[in-house]
Amino acid sequence: MTSYLREHFDFVTAGAAVALMTIGLISIYSATYDAHASDVATKQLAFVGVGLVVLAIVTFLPFKLLQFISYPSYFLSILLLVSVLILGKTVSGSTSWFNLGAFRLQPSEFTKITTALALATYISRTDVNLQRFNNLAVACGIVILPVILILLQPDTGTTMIYAGMFIPVLYWGGATKFTLLSVVAPVAAAVAALFGITPFFITVMIMGVLIYMTKENRILAAVVFSATVLIGISVQFIYEGLKPYQQKRIATFLDPNADPLGAGYNVLQSKVAIGSGGLFGKGFLHGSQTQLNFIPEQWTDFIFCVIGEEFGFVGAAVVLGLFLTLLVRGVRLGATVKNRYGSTLAIAISAIFAIHVLMNVGMSVGLLPVVGVPLPFLSYGGSALLTNITMVGILLNLHAHRKEY
């Protein structure tokens, strides 16, 4: 029995996930200790209990069943995204939740899994070649459809997770360098345009050279380059069409000190909290920024501040080390799984975790805009936690069947 478990169960991945959930519960308890929100930690504990049951179920599901339910679950999640726009509850300007009494269900979280499942199923087909335009278009469509529906809520942060997942999966699925550049170049130009004319011009020139060098068909290269320039130029028009709170988030990212008591408040307080933690932190329940509630609802998107302030650089390093362990195990699994579907799915899940951590920690330290992305396993939220636990269960399932074709 012991040898069977050692061969078929990935204790490292499971251990990292459980450790992160435990740290999350401790951090949420601290963040809510003097914030008159004591039920938050209790609810999160209940979510963890349900999540562990889900983890066990997903881990021991028949491997082929995961692939069999990929398309049906994807279309069901699309239906839920449409339904939430009509019947959903609006919170902080975003209609992203179904109200289920004391709890809320966020379909866009679960759609991350179903999109990864559907994308892996399609790319793993023997007749699919991402170097062909029609196959690439279908793969893009699988991702773009939920992205459009989520943007309508609107939830900009979640859509970025899909984009962050899609590019590594394209690379893993055999897309050419030109194809990857065709996806990355417009995004890079759009982001650069936010910083001004000079950064935009430099970025466009660099992307133009790279595009030219990676494609023999100069006409197609010219089309992609032109699209990159036009998308970059159109950023200003798109910016004008955003809602005021979305414009403030972008402006705060560019200069948090521009509105220190408004849109930039959370970022500045977050940086103060993390910086004040020092090497070993101020101690559990002794973080002044945390216990005095300087950051509203810190137990959600800014939970990393609790760790940085109360457990210091060492505590933050431990958390990031656990995430790194999870990511390394996921990528290594993608490289060792014999089944192409399983390999692609492992990379997709690893990419989802990676972009979540990058964006959340980045916004907590002021390097990225505040876009409402939770930190996996640590931030409060049932839908996000169950989604993350399910993805870990899938990784454990793939590990157990990694030698199957």
Query: What are the tokens at 330?
Result: 């996921």
Whole-number Å distance between alpha carbons of 309 and 329:
29
pLDDT of 77: 95
pLDDT in tens, 94-142: 778 788 776 788 899 999 999 999 999 999 998 998 888 889 889 989 9
CA 303 to chain centre: 15
Q: Is the Cα dihedral 386, 388, 394, 399 positive or negative?
A: negative
Range of the domain at 318: 2-174+260-400
Coil, strand or helix at 260: coil
**Listed range (107-116, 284-293, 309-318) with the worst mean pLDDT:** 284-293
In a 3-state reduction of DSSP, which class is residue 163?
A: helix
Q: Which of 106-120, 192-206, 250-264 shows the lowest per-residue confidence on average (mean pLDDT)?
A: 250-264
pLDDT (mean) for 320-329: 96
Domain-located, residue 232: no
**Measured between alpha carbons, how far is 392 from 349 in angstroms, rounded to an integer?**
8
189 domain-assigned: no
Is the CB of residue 46 less than 8 Å from the CB of residue 399?
A: no
CB-CB contact of 106 with 96 (8 Å) = yes
Q: Please give the pLDDT value at position 274.
A: 86
Give 77-140 as a 3 state SS string.
HHHHHHHHHHHCEEECCEEEEEEECCEEECHHHHHHHHHHHHHHHHHCCCCCCCCCHHHHHHHH
Whether 114 maps to a domain, the answer reads yes
Residue 343 · residue 394 · CB < 8 Å: no
Evaluate if residue 313 carries a pLDDT over 70: yes
- State residue 216's pLDDT score: 61
Please report which residue ranges of 10-62 form alpha helices under DSSP H: 11-32, 38-59
pLDDT at 145: 93
Q: Which residue intervals of 173-217 are DSSP H helices?
A: 177-194, 197-213
Give mean pLDDT, residues 322-335: 96
Residue 207 lies in a domain: no
CA 145 to chain centre: 17
Instruction: Residue 257: name the closest of 373, 370, 366 by CA.
Output: 366
pLDDT digits (tens, 9 = 90+) for 180-196: 888 888 888 887 887 77
Q: Does any domain span residue 308?
A: yes
Count of structural domains within the chain: 1
Please give the torsion angle defined by the CA atoms of residues 378, 148, 240 and 371, in that order, rounded to the nearest 10 degrees: 0
% of the chain residues with pLDDT over 90:
41
Residue 383, judged by CB atoms within 10 A of its CB (0-12, 13-18, 19+), counts as buried
Q: How does residue 288 score in pLDDT terms, banded at 50, 70 and 90?
A: confident
Higher pLDDT, 238 or 138: 138
In this prediction, residues 200-211 reach a mean pLDDT of: 88
Residue 390 maps to a domain: yes
Q: What pLDDT was estimated at residue 317?
A: 96
Which whole number is the average pLDDT over 25-50?
Answer: 86
Q: How confident is the model at residue 271 (pLDDT cuts 50, 70, 90)?
A: confident
State the burial class of residue 171 (Cβ atoms within 10 Å of its Cβ: 0-12, 13-18, 19+): middle
Residue 266 has pLDDT above 80, yes or no: no
